[in-house]
Amino acid sequence: MSTKRERDLAMADKQDSLGQLQTFLNKLFQFESQDLDFGVYKILHYKRAEIKEYIDTLLVDTVREQLSTLSESESEHIEEQLAELAEDGLVSAWIASKDKKQKEAFIASDSAGRIKQYQKLTKQKRSVTVSKEVENQIYNHLTTFFSRYYDKGDFISKRRFGKNEK
């Protein structure tokens, strides 16, 4: 059986933002403290398995599901723009043309801006994915949010000031 220190070191080895969030949430819920068997901690220990499952799997699944929804809506928006452009006579003629020379002639014409816009949107549609960086930013924001209300083993309320407040 591993000691608490070994588990903490294993958790600390996760340097990505998801690992940091999971480590922080485990620390916040204080699952390792056996002497906390009163009040809200009693309920947390009773629901420990469900909370751990949420922290370890469901949280990640929920974030990724929402990010894929974002990607899908972005893709739909691009699809609408492509449909609008395809209604244009020049763009539809360019799409219908099979010959490479004919396509190049359309692009060389004066009104090729809409064709280039169509090509750009087609490229964007192929590459619509939310980057790992965005996912990491979400985890970092969640960690920051929870850390604002937790300090030294206790939940606290900290007053936050806006730009013009003091």
Distance CA 49, CA 29 (A): 12
Q: Determine, yes or no, domain membership for 38.
A: yes
> Average pLDDT of each block of 10 consecutive residues along the chain (166 residues)?
46 63 78 67 75 82 79 76 74 68 65 72 68 78 81 68 65
SS3 160: coil
Q: Determine, yes or no, domain membership for 35.
A: yes
Q: Determine, yes or no, domain membership for 2.
A: no
SS3 15: coil
Q: Determine, yes or no, domain membership for 3.
A: no
Q: Determine, yes or no, domain membership for 1.
A: no
Q: Determine, yes or no, domain membership for 47.
A: yes
Q: Check residue 11 and give its pLDDT.
A: 43
Q: Check residue 5 and give its pLDDT.
A: 44
Q: Determine, yes or no, domain membership for 37.
A: yes
Task: Evaluate whether 82 touches 121 at the Cβ level (below 8 Å).
Answer: yes
Q: Sign (positive/negative) of CA torsion 60, 66, 67, 71?
A: positive
pTM across the whole model: 0.49
Q: Determine, yes or no, domain membership for 161.
A: no
What residues make up the domain containing 106? 14-151
Domain count, the chain: 1
Distances (CA, A) of 164 to 43, 100, 160: 40, 61, 12
